[in-house]
Amino acid sequence: MASLRDTSQQTADVAGTPDLDGGSVQTLPPSGPPPAGRPAAGGRLRGSGWGPRLELAVLIGPALVVFVAFVILPVVLAAYYGFFSWSGYGPAVDFVGLNNYIVILTDPDFHEALGHNVFIAIMSLILQGPIALGLALLLNRKMRYQSAIRILIFVPYVISEVVVGIGWSLMLQSNGALNGLLERVGLGALTADWLSDPAVAIWTLMVIITWKYIGFATILFLAGLQGIPDELSEAAAIDGASYWQIQRHIVLPLLGPTIRIWAFLSIIGSLQLFDLVWIIWGQYVASTAGTSTMATYMVANGRNAGSYGYGSAVAVVMFLISLAVALLYQRFLLRRDTAGAITGGKA
């Protein structure tokens, strides 16, 4: 009996079964290598040596170097030089503290430029959004020459800003093609100083921006429409829903994430607008015609004025404004999209 009890005790210890007396027996850990993907006791994941690390460094390293060199470092240097009265030559030694920022925030010209940026951002959403959405819904239906129409709508977006600016400035001069056409067709009363009249110039800029960037919004909305299953619209049509009811209650809600992403890109681009304004109006006309922006203000009062320290401070203010808008937008408008993605990933 003693030998039988000892044999049972050893079997219970190895197999993890209860003892003959009913007592609990601690199960020994299984022998052999650990399962794949699970680290051994006191060790690291298999395959986490220098090979994967080197591969990760090769893949991420170049992009990280470019990001640090052309994004992080310029921001840091701009923040540094913004505390100096620096002409751009030699070391920055004339420390002025927050004086540059005080001048910026109290300058009426900067307030005017900031107001123009805000106006452009709001009007871009009001003008481009509905037009691009209507074009996307139209081009999403089967029609003749559909591909050609899509290309024609997208062509202005890929044209260089320099070409666009020069072309529009030539057409919109006082003796340009537009005024000449209006006079020839008997509408001479509608002629105007499209580029120099402060009451008209800002709307001229909005027309040019809308023409230039409407193709990007249309293609983006078309891509979002392609991801909406046709079965939903077909089922709603069978239930008696009209075309506009389907667009309002099915298509638009499902297209919401794409619209919010486009609006975010449009707002950030409007806050940083520079090239079209500078090419068409230049430094002096932009300030008098009411089309100046924060970027043109920065170049005019920084580089062109020989005050690189002040220009760096303006760049920092622009960066902070754009960053604040981006964070607030993502916090309150993009939160539902990112939260859904995170929840879906966890599920």
Quick: pLDDT tens for 79-118.
Answer: 999 999 988 888 888 899 899 999 999 999 999 999 999 9
Distance CA 44, CA 298 (A): 53
pLDDT at 152 over 80: yes
Tokens representing residue 223 in the block? 């891509």
Secondary structure element (H or E) that encloses residue 3, with its range: helix 2-15
Contact 39, 45 (CB under 8 A): yes
8 Å CB contact between 178 and 171: yes
Which positions ≥6 away from 313 have C-beta within 8 Å? 78, 81, 82, 83, 100, 101, 104
Tell whether 4 is covered by a domain: no
Asked whether residue 240 carries a pLDDT value surpassing 80, the answer given is: yes
Q: Which of 141-150, 158-167, 249-258, 266-275 has the lowest mean pLDDT?
A: 141-150
**Mean pLDDT across the stretch 188-193?**
89
Confirm whether 205 is domain-assigned.
yes
* Host domain of residue 200: 101-334
Distance of alpha carbon 17 from the chain centroid: 61
Residue 90 has what pLDDT?
Answer: 82
- pLDDT at site 339: 64
Query: Per residue in 276-332, pLDDT tens?
Result: 999 999 866 766 778 899 999 999 999 888 899 999 999 999 999 999 999 999 888
Structure token pair of residue 167: 């072309």
Partners of 95 in the beta sheet?
A: 84
**CATH code, domain with 119:** 1.10.3720.10
Per-residue confidence (pLDDT) for residue 34, from 0 to 100: 52
> Contact 125/206 with Cβ under 8 angstroms?
no
Contact 100, 110 (CB under 8 A): no
Please report which confidence band the pLDDT of residue 338 belongs to, taking 50, 70 and 90 as the band edges.
low
In a domain, 154, yes or no: yes
Q: Alpha-carbon dihedral of residues 28, 34, 40, 41, nearest 10 degrees?
A: -10
Q: What percent of the chain stands above pLDDT 70?
A: 82
Would residue 316 count as lying in a domain? yes
Distance of CA 13 to the CA centre of its chain: 63
Closest CA to 278 of 269, 266, 291, 268: 291
Reported in sequence order, the residue ranges of 15-106 that DSSP labels E, i.e. its strands, are none
DSSP 95: B
DSSP state of 247: I
Structure tokens at 47: 């395959």
pLDDT of residue 32: 53
Average pLDDT value for the chain = 84
Task: State the total domains in the chain.
Answer: 1
Average pLDDT over residues 229-234: 88
* Rounded mean pLDDT, 169-173: 91
Confidence grade of residue 335 (pLDDT, cut at 50, 70, 90): confident
Looking at the domain assignment, is residue 13 inside a domain?
no
In a domain, 93, yes or no: no
CA atoms within 13 A on the CB side of 193: 8
pLDDT band at 4 (very low <50, low <70, confident <90, very high): very low
Q: What is the dihedral of CA 209, 215, 218, 222, to 10 degrees?
A: -160
| The most confident of 240-254, 279-293, 328-342, by mean pLDDT | 240-254
pLDDT of residue 128: 95
Position 347 in a domain:
no
Positive or negative, the CA dihedral 252, 255, 257, 263 is negative
Reading the block at residue 228, the tokens are 């909406």
CA distance 124 to 214: 9
Q: CB-based burial of residue 301 (10 Å sphere; 0-12 exposed, 13-18 middle, 19+ buried)?
A: buried
Q: Find all residues with CB under 8 Å of 176, minimum gap 6, and list them.
A: 170, 194
- The angle that helices 108-139 and 252-271 make with each other, rounded to 10 degrees, is 150
Query: Where is average pLDDT lowest: 29-33, 63-67, 151-155, 237-241?
Result: 29-33
Q: Quick check: is 339 in a domain? A: no
Query: Which residues are CB-neighbours of 276 under 8 A, at least 6 positions away?
Result: 161, 164, 165, 205, 208, 209, 212
User: SS3 for 48?
Assistant: coil
Mean pLDDT calculated for residue range 59-66: 92
Tokens of 112: 């005017």
Residue with token string 């040596």:
49
Looking from the CA of 268 toward its CB, the CA atoms found within 13 Å total 16
